């Protein structure tokens, strides 16, 4: 059994906001150099395996798409004034835009312009995956001010055979059971969705690499949907070792935590809810639905993996979502740190969750002659078990209740039941069950 976690175990080893800031300017998409550059930066912190899967490869019901790369994209007036420039903000060009160089009437251009009339100062994030299309995204106010008859548009991009890129790190544990942690790496300059998830997953991987591990930890950095589908295709034969899974997204904003449950109910659901309940922070638990992030793929009927999704703001419900307002001001060090600590607590719980059986379960053992009252007093300042925690543990250590079961029933933080287990184990009152 690992030692009791200390406060420092809940502090990331890297500056999370700093990592988000470093990744922010890169133009990411489902495929292409931006994803590779992102994963290379992540690789500076963790021992990430980079996988390339060729365009056209059949993956479940899908095929790996063409690779998209873009060098520039502008709208200029006929007099040469640059009004919209990809170099200023990579949201300005519709994802997967094909190249174009033309003079268009305003009406022709309007067919390719995306704005947010109700948020007229923001640039929307739009993408046209797999569609033979091009477009620009701009603030509605700017578009309204563009009243010339003609404009010059110029997108210098490639859509060509290449590959899909994803990153994977597996940290083996003492047992074959593993925890899956995934995030998506396919969004351009959007800080919360999902650089927050990438940064936190990176820091958690650094943390788990340093820790003794009963469970294995698998970190996936995937382009959404097609990346998850590709990974599932390639790993189909070994999914049964995944005992708990969590999709990490939108974890840097100031909204309350939202946990979306797995499809069929799982320990991860009870564990996350327990950690949130004892966090002292507001939270909401939402039932599974088949929309959202890559839990859609992991929870598809033939896989039905025990995977939930942890968020703060919920996709589609906060005003900054998929706009240029999801920027480096929208995510904070404080929120990132809270999210990191929450998940670190969760991983400690999953790793420490065991089942014990009293050596002799008849009546209460005599605590005094074993020095357990003294031991409890000694733990007190370290936030250890109370006498009541120890009584709960000794009562429920029947080989059928896990520590998580006990913590939920006693309604106290998991770590205190774990501390009680340590006391009882040291006193030879219990044995661990397989």
- DSSP β-ladder status, 307-311 and 242-248: parallel
Please give the backbone phi and psi of residue 323, each rounded to the nearest 5 degrees, phi first.
Answer: -135, 170
Nearer to a second copy (CB atom), residue 36 or residue 270: 270
Nearer to a second copy (CB atom), residue 124 or residue 361: 361
Kindly report the number of other CB atoms within 10 A of residue 369's CB atom: 9
Query: Closest approach of Cβ 351 to a second copy, in Å?
Result: 25
Site string for a second copy, 173-212 (x = CB under 8 A): ----------------------------------------
How far apart are the C-alpha atoms of 164 and 231, rounded to whole Å?
A: 11
How far apart are the C-alpha atoms of 351 and 9, rounded to whole Å?
A: 14
- Which of 429, 39, 386 is closest to 202 using CA atoms? 39
Is residue 145 near a second copy by the rule CB under 8 A? no
Query: Closest approach of Cβ 254 to a second copy, in Å?
Result: 28
Is residue 260 near a second copy by the rule CB under 8 A? no
Query: Closest approach of Cβ 228 to a second copy, in Å?
Result: 7
Is residue 263 near a second copy by the rule CB under 8 A? yes
- Which of 250, 122, 254 is closest to 191 using CA atoms? 250
CA distances from 171 to 166, 348, 349, 420 (A): 17, 15, 17, 28
Query: Closest approach of Cβ 276 to a second copy, in Å?
Result: 22
Query: Closest approach of Cβ 361 to a second copy, in Å?
Result: 3
Is residue 285 near a second copy by the rule CB under 8 A? no
Q: Which residues contact 145 (CB under 8 A, 6 or more apart)?
A: none
Residues 66-95 touching a second copy, rule: CB under 8 A, are: none
For the chain, the distance separating the N- and C-terminal CA atoms, rounded to the nearest angstrom, is 13
Nearer to a second copy (CB atom), residue 78 or residue 131: 131
The region of 23-31, 56-64, 311-319, 331-339 touching a second copy under the rule CB under 8 A is 56-64
Please check whether residue 136 is in contact with residue 114, taking contact to mean a CB–CB distance below 8 angstroms.
Answer: yes
Give the CA angle between residues 308, 311, 312 to the nearest 5°. 150
Please check whether residue 85 is in contact with residue 92, taking contact to mean a CB–CB distance below 8 angstroms.
Answer: yes
Buried b (16+ CB within 10 A) or exposed e, 295-312: bbbbbbeeeebbbbbbbb
Report the interhelical angle of 403-410 vs 267-277 (nearest 10°).
Answer: 40
Please check whether residue 267 is in contact with residue 329, taking contact to mean a CB–CB distance below 8 angstroms.
Answer: no
The region of 34-42, 107-115, 189-197, 395-403 touching a second copy under the rule CB under 8 A is 395-403
Is residue 290 near a second copy by the rule CB under 8 A? yes
Is residue 291 near a second copy by the rule CB under 8 A? yes
Nearer to a second copy (CB atom), residue 107 or residue 360: 360
**Which of residues 37, 304, 405, 426 is near a second copy by CB under 8 A?**
304
Is residue 309 near a second copy by the rule CB under 8 A? no
Let me know if 293 is exposed, middle or buried by CB neighbors in 10 A (0-12, 13-18, 19+): buried
Residue 265, token pair as written in the block: 């109910």
Residue 193, token pair as written in the block: 């969705």
Residue 311, token pair as written in the block: 């968020």
Is residue 166 near a second copy by the rule CB under 8 A? no
- DSSP β-ladder status, 216-222 and 178-184: parallel
**Which of residues 300, 327, 332, 333 is near a second copy by CB under 8 A?**
300
**Which of residues 13, 206, 395, 405 is near a second copy by CB under 8 A?**
395
The region of 4-12, 172-180, 195-203, 301-309 touching a second copy under the rule CB under 8 A is 301-309
The three-class DSSP label of residue 138 is coil
| Beta pairing partners, 72 | 156
H helices, E strands: number in the chain: 13, 19
Give the CA angle between residues 97, 103, 105 to the nearest 5°. 100
Is residue 432 near a second copy by the rule CB under 8 A? no
Is residue 398 near a second copy by the rule CB under 8 A? yes
Is residue 364 near a second copy by the rule CB under 8 A? yes
Site string for a second copy, 206-245 (x = CB under 8 A): -------------------x--xx--xx--x---------
Query: Closest approach of Cβ 172 to a second copy, in Å?
Result: 26
Is residue 255 near a second copy by the rule CB under 8 A? no
Is residue 368 near a second copy by the rule CB under 8 A? yes
Site string for a second copy, 125-144 (x = CB under 8 A): -----x--------------
**For a second copy, how many residues bind (rule: CB under 8 A)?**
40
How far apart are the C-alpha atoms of 418 and 424, rounded to whole Å?
A: 10
Is residue 305 near a second copy by the rule CB under 8 A? no
The residue ranges that bind a second copy (CB under 8 A) are: 60-62, 130, 225, 228-229, 232-233, 236, 263, 289-291, 296-297, 299-304, 358, 360-366, 368, 388, 391-392, 394-398, 410
């Amino acid at each position: 059994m690992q030692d009791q976690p200390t406060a420092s175990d809940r502090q990331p080893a890297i500056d999370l906001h700093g990592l988000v800031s470093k990744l922010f300017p890169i133009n990411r998409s489902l495929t292409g150099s931006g994803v590779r550059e992102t994963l290379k930066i992540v690789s500076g912190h963790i021992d990430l395996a980079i996988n390339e899967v060729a365009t056209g490869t059949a993956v479940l019901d899908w095929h790996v798409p063409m690779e998209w790369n873009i060098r520039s994209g502008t709208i200029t007036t006929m007099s040469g004034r640059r009004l919209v420039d990809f170099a200023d903000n990579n949201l300005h060009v519709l994802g997967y835009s094909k190249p174009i160089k033309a003079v268009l009437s305003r009406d022709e251009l309007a067919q390719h312009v995306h704005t947010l009339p109700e948020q007229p100062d923001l640039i929307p994030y739009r993408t046209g995956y797999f569609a033979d299309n091009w477009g620009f995204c701009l603030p509605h106010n700017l578009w309204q001010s563009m009243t010339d008859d003609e404009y010059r548009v110029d997108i210098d991009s490639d859509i060509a055979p290449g590959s899909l890129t994803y990153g994977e790190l597996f940290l083996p544990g003492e047992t074959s059971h593993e925890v899956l942690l995934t995030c998506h790496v396919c969004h351009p300059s959007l800080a919360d969705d999902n650089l927050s998830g990438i940064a936190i997953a990176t820091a958690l991987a650094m943390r788990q690499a340093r820790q003794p591990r009963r469970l294995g930890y698998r970190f996936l950095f995937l382009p959404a949907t097609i990346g998850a589908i590709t990974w599932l295709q390639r790993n189909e034969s070994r999914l049964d070792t995944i005992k708990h899974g969590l999709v990490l997204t939108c974890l840097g904003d100031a909204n309350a935590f939202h946990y979306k449950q797995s499809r069929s109910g799982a320990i991860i659901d009870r564990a996350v809810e327990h950690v949130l309940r004892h966090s002292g922070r507001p939270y909401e638990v939402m039932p599974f639905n088949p929309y959202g992030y890559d839990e859609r793929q992991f929870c598809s009927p033939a896989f039905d993996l025990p995977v939930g999704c942890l968020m703060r703001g919920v996709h589609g419900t906060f005003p900054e979502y998929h706009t240029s307002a999801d920027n480096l001001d929208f995510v904070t060090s404080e929120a990132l740190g809270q999210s990191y600590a929450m998940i670190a607590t969760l991983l400690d719980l999953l790793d420490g969750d065991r089942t014990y059986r009293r050596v002799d379960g008849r009546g209460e053992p005599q605590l005094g002659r074993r020095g357990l009252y003294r031991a409890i007093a000694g733990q007190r300042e370290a936030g250890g078990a109370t006498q009541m925690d120890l009584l709960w543990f000794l009562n429920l250590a029947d080989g059928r209740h896990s520590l998580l079961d006990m913590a939920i029933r006693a309604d106290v933080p998991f770590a205190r039941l774990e501390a009680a287990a340590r006391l009882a184990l040291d006193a030879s009152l219990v044995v661990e069950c397989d």
